[in-house]
Structure 1
Amino acid sequence: MKDNVLFVCVHNSARSQMAEAFLPAAAGDLFDVFSAGIEAGAMNRLVVDVMAEIGFDLSRAYAKPLSAPEIAGRAYRYVITVCAESDGERCPVVPTQGRREHWSFPDPSALTGTIDERRAQTRRIRDAIRDTVEAWAAARRAERTRAAP
Structure 2
Amino acid sequence: MAMMQEFKAFAVKGNVVDLAVGVIIGGAFGKIVTSFVSDIVMPPLGMLMGKVNFTDLFLDLSGKGFTSLKAAKDAGAPVISYGLFINTIIDFVIIAFVIFLVIKQINRFKNEPAPAPPNTKECSFCCSSIPLAANRCPHCTSQLE
Could you say which TM-score interval applies, normalised by the shorter chain?
0.3 to 0.5
- TM normalised by structure 1 equals 0.32
Structure number with higher relative contact order (C-alpha < 8 Å, ≥ 6 residues apart): 1
Please identify which structure carries the higher helix content: 2
Please identify which structure carries the higher strand content: 1
- TM normalised by structure 2 equals 0.32
Between Structure 1 and Structure 2, whose CA radius of gyration is higher?
2
